[in-house]
Structure formats: C-alpha cells, structure tokens
C-alpha cells in the first residue's frame, strides 16, 4: 500500500478560479495569512491540499476533476489541490452566517453583546444545515483521499473546520489529526453566546485531534481553560493536555514566521520597481502606512481617528505627512463587513475635509489588493501602523519591516500574536486608546535616527530567524514524537 502524502485541509485554498468579462477562466492566489503559511508548507513537503470550492468556477473545476486533484504552479510553488464543492445555500450559511461573523467575532471579541448576536432559527439552521454540512463534505473528501493508505497525517486549519476532525476520526480511528488555529483563542466567557449544543460540538470536534496548534502560548492557555470550564474536561496545564472521550489532545504554540528571503526577491522585482517610482514621486516628508484586509478586527477606524487627533494636536506636520492605507475588501456578503467599509470611507472623507488643502490629501485610501504596490510602500514607510483589536499573528508586522529601507518604526497593538515576539523593538499601543496612538505617531515621526536604526535591526534579526519551514518542521517533529510514543 502507498503511504499517503501529507493532507492539508482548509476552507480557503491557494488557488481561486473565476471568469473574466470575456468569459475566460482566470486563476489567482487565495489571500490571507493562512494561504501564505501553507504555501510555505507545500514548497517544503509533498502535500495534497483539500479546500472548499469558493466560487462558481471553483465548483466547475472540481467537477471537471471528478473529486481528484488539480496540479498548478503559481509564484514558483507547485500545488496539488482538491476542491470540494458544497450545496450553494449550505456554503452561504457556513461562511456568511456561522464562520464569519459568529465564530470570527467571538474569537476576536468583536460582539457588542447588548445588541448582537441574536441566536434565532436562522442561526440554528445555519449551524445544522450549513456549518455541519460543509464540515461533513470536507471530512468525506479527506476520508476518500486517505482510503486504503496506512497511518495518514491530516493537518486541518482554522475556525471553518472545527467539527470535521470528529467526523474523520469516526471513520479513521488510526489517522493522525492535527489542527492549527490561525486566529486568537478567546477566553471562556466569550464562547457563552453560543447555545450549549453548538459549543460542545465545537470542542468535541476539536478534541478529536491529536494536536491543536496556536500562534501563542496565551491562546493555548485560553483553549485549555475553555475545555475545563465549558466542557468539564480533564486538563493538565503543565503538559498542555486535555483528556476527553477516552483520548488525549495536546495544545501547543507554534509561532508562524515569514519567508523573508522570498519577500526580498519580490522587493527587487521590476513590478515593485515600477510601483516604487510613483510612491517616491508622491511622497511627502513622512509616510505612514497600513496594509490590511478590510476587517473589523484590524481597527481601521480608530487608526484614522488617531491620525485625525495627531494632526489637530501637531499642526506643524500638516502637508508633511501622508497616511496611505491599502485595504483589501473582504467578506462583503456579511452585512457587518459591508457596513464597516462604508464607515471607513465616510471617516476618511471627514478627516481629509478637516485637514486637507488644495494640494494635500492627508489619507490616501486604496481599497484593492495590489501586491507590488504594497511591497513598494513597505520599502519606504516611516511608520507602519498595526493597531488590531485582536489578531492571531499579523504577518504584515513581519513582512513590511523585512524589506523596509528607511528604518521605519512599527506601531504594534499589544493584542496581536506578533507582539509576543516583537515587543522589544516597537511602539506598543493599546488598540482602544486613541490618544496613545496619536502620541505614538508623533513619537515615531520624531524618533532619533540611532533609535530607529537599533529597532529596525532588532526587528529584522527576529523576523529573519524563523521561516514558515521552521513552523512546519516544529509541528511535524511533534507529530512524529507523539506517533512513536503511541507505538
Ligand atoms: O488567517 C485567518 C483567515 O481567516 C484565514 O482563515 C483566511 O483564509 C484569511 O484569514 C482570509 O479570510 P477569508 O478566507 O475569509 O478571505
């Protein structure tokens, strides 16, 4: 019998198929930190990647492949991907009602509890006939791919797939199941908005894994506390273990690094050089930058308000500084996200009207994704703003300093996973404290050159010391150790 390749499973895959206006099939790379991390994994090991078919064209590709894998190379990486189609209504309930917003909002503490969420028939049905349906479709695809192969290793990812591990475990008790959660794990009370049966299905599903990985130790501890308080499972904090349903699950921290060398190669590409010309032509004395998905957890509104306060308190900086914000539209079928983007645009109009002049627009808002343009600005910012409300890791905080050429300063929210590693060389901010963020802008733009140099060297040393390959290797090593101790 053939040994199964490593199976990685996530909702968003590395490739997204669409049709352009001329009706031609197009292909682009999936966005977000998860795809970046797992691309590092597949460039490192032979793997089959199972993902949801998210667009109509993805569904067409999956039907053409008849449940098999498609093989494609993008950005020098070879992918073998198996796209899993689900019923369109089930997928909509799964993605737009349960995963985003309900689970995402719980795990980033975004609910305004006196107003929302309301759990009604619609949400319960979305759980039963959406989240569970898509998890079952994915679990079945996994079981089909590992059929007849001994000792398979399956790595599942993120909050979309919390119940799939139990479904796989029931069919393949011998499989090694590993789950990495790319977003924060919030404290026990935040989970109490969910009806007990849903909460228990989530924890029971996750505890069918052998290992659950998080970006930080703080998230591991929150997870263990949830198992103890909400499931009354037996927890060993010192060993990071949970005992449930006759099995043991380990909770471990594996901080994700970036492929800084690949980013350096991208930073010296002709596409970035072309984008850089415009950046340099238009730049004022100071450039403040942020690059994010347009997500509520990123705290874009407070960031702009802090800039507004800074300009009001330091009029000497008027016409000398521009704040460029690259925001990639995200999850626009979820009303909270669509409304958030509208509020961002309205606030930018107010700030620009309040402080702008005939030839100076303080905030330059770019609502699209353009990698060369973003990297060109990574190279030239004076201040990078990462002020997330809560954020699993935040890879921009590692990517941008890796290629910055101006000893730019990083303003970093203390509630990001990357703060656990980078805090010594950043201006830390409380994401809710607007005055502190306004002061941080002033401090960053007036910081002595030697201090900026020392910080940027400190950041680069940490950032270049760990790659996505190390992140994968640490997890594979733990999997191997656990497997051999079980024999
Ligand atoms: O890393 C967190 C994450 O939610 C991933 O799971 C996801 O792929 C990415 O951000 C982008 O979100 P989405 O897939 O909803 O566009």
Q: Rounded mean pLDDT of 93-114?
A: 98
Contact 52 CB / ligand 1 (< 6 Å): no
pLDDT at 203 over 60: yes
Separation between Cα atoms, residue 331 and residue 333, nearest integer Å: 6
pLDDT at 2 over 60: no
Q: Rounded mean pLDDT of 167-187?
A: 97
Please give the distance, rounded to the nearest whole angstrom, from the Cα atom of residue 480 to the centre of ligand 1. Answer: 28
Contact 108 CB / ligand 1 (< 6 Å): no
pLDDT at 135 over 80: yes
336 to each of 99, 116, 330, 331, 465, how far by Cα in Å? 13, 11, 11, 9, 38
Contact 183 CB / ligand 1 (< 6 Å): yes
Q: Among residues of the chain, what percentage have pLDDT more than 90? A: 89
If DSSP codes are grouped into helix, strand and coil, which group holds residue 351? helix
Kindly indicate the confidence band of residue 487, based on its pLDDT and cuts at 50, 70 and 90.
Answer: low
> Could you identify the atom of ligand 1 that is nearest to the CA of residue 54?
14
Please give the distance, rounded to the nearest whole angstrom, from the Cα atom of residue 34 to the centre of ligand 1. Answer: 6
Terminal C-alpha separation, the chain: 20
Q: What is the DSSP annotation of 257-305?
A: ---HHHHHHHHTSHHHHHHHHHHHHH--SEEEEEEEES-GGG-HHHHHH
Contact 158 CB / ligand 1 (< 6 Å): yes
Determine which of 67-76, 129-138, 338-347, 442-451 has the lowest per-residue pLDDT on average: 67-76
pLDDT at 405 over 50: yes
Contact 298 CB / ligand 1 (< 6 Å): no
- Summarised one tens digit per residue, pLDDT across range 226-282 is 999 999 999 999 999 999 999 999 999 999 999 899 899 999 999 999 999 999 999
Mean pLDDT for the chain overall: 95
Q: Rounded mean pLDDT of 126-133?
A: 98
Please give the pLDDT value at position 4. Answer: 60
Q: Rounded mean pLDDT of 308-326?
A: 98
Burial environment of residue 137 by CB neighbours within 10 A (0 to 12, 13 to 18, 19 or more): buried
Nearest to 72 by CA among 33, 28, 18: 28
> pTM higher than 0.85 for the full model?
yes
More confident: 459 or 44: 459
Kindly indicate the confidence band of residue 1, based on its pLDDT and cuts at 50, 70 and 90.
Answer: very low
- In the chain, the largest separation of any two C-alpha atoms, in whole Å, equals 73
Contact 156 CB / ligand 1 (< 6 Å): no
> Could you identify the atom of ligand 1 that is nearest to the CA of residue 35?
8
Kindly indicate the confidence band of residue 325, based on its pLDDT and cuts at 50, 70 and 90.
Answer: very high
- Summarised one tens digit per residue, pLDDT across range 332-391 is 999 999 999 999 999 999 999 999 999 999 999 999 999 999 999 999 999 999 999 999
Please give the pLDDT value at position 167. Answer: 98
Kindly indicate the confidence band of residue 433, based on its pLDDT and cuts at 50, 70 and 90.
Answer: very high
Tokens 């449940």, residue located: 67
pLDDT at 163 over 80: yes
- Summarised one tens digit per residue, pLDDT across range 45-64 is 889 999 999 999 999 999 99
Contact 302 CB / ligand 1 (< 6 Å): no
């Amino acid at each position: 019998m053939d040994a199964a390749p490593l199976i990685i499973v996530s909702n968003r895959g590395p490739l997204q198929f669409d049709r352009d206006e001329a009706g031609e099939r197009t292909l682009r790379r999936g966005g977000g930190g998860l795809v970046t991390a797992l691309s590092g994994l597949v460039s490192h090991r032979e793997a089959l990647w199972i993902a949801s078919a998210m667009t109509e064209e993805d569904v067409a590709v999956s039907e053409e492949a008849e449940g098999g894998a498609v093989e494609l190379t993008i950005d020098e990486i070879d992918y073998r991907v198996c796209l899993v189609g689900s019923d369109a209504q089930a997928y909509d309930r799964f993605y737009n009602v349960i995963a985003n917003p309900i689970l995402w909002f719980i795990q980033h503490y975004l609910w305004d509890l006196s107003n929302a969420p309301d759990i009604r028939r619609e949400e319960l049905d979305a759980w039963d006939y959406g989240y569970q349906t898509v998890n079952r479709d994915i679990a079945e695809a996994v079981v089909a791919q590992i059929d007849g192969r001994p000792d398979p290793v399956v790595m599942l990812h993120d909050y979309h797939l919390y119940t799939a591990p139990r479904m796989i475990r029931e069919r393949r008790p011998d499989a090694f199941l590993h789950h990495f959660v790319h977003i924060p794990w919030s404290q026990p009370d935040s989970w109490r908005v969910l009806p007990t049966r849903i909460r228990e299905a989530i924890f029971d599903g996750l505890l069918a894994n052998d290992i659950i990985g998080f970006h930080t130790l703080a998230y591991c501890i929150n997870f263990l506390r949830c198992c103890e308080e909400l499931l009354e499972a037996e927890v060993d904090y010192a060993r990071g273990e949970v005992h449930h349903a006759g099995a043991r699950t380990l909770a471990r921290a594996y901080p994700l690094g970036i492929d800084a060398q690949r980013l350096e190669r991208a930073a010296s590409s002709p596409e970035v050089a072309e984008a850089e010309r415009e950046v340099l032509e238009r730049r004022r004395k100071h450039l403040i930058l942020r690059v994010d998905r347009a997500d509520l957890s990123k705290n874009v509104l407070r960031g702009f308000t802090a800039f507004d306060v800074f300009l009001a308190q330091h009029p000497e900086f008027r016409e000398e500084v521009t704040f460029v914000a690259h925001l990639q539209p995200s999850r626009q079928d979820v009303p909270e996200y669509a409304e958030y983007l509208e509020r961002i645009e309205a606030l930018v109009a107010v700030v620009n009207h309040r402080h702008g002049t005939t030839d100076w627009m303080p905030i330059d808002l770019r609502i699209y994704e353009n990698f060369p343009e973003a990297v060109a600005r990574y190279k030239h910012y004076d201040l990078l703003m990462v002020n997330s409300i809560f954020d699993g890791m935040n890879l921009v905080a590692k990517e941008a300093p890796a290629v910055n050429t101006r000893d730019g300063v990083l303003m970093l929210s203390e509630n990001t996973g990357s703060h656990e590693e980078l805090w010594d060389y950043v201006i830390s901010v409380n994401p809710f404290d607007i005055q502190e963020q306004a002061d941080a802008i002033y401090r960053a733009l007036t910081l002595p050159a030697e201090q900026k140099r020392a910080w940027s060297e400190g950041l680069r040393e940490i950032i270049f010391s760990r790659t996505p390959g190390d992140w994968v290797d640490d997890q594979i090593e733990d999997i191997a150790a656990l497997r051999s101790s079980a024999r």
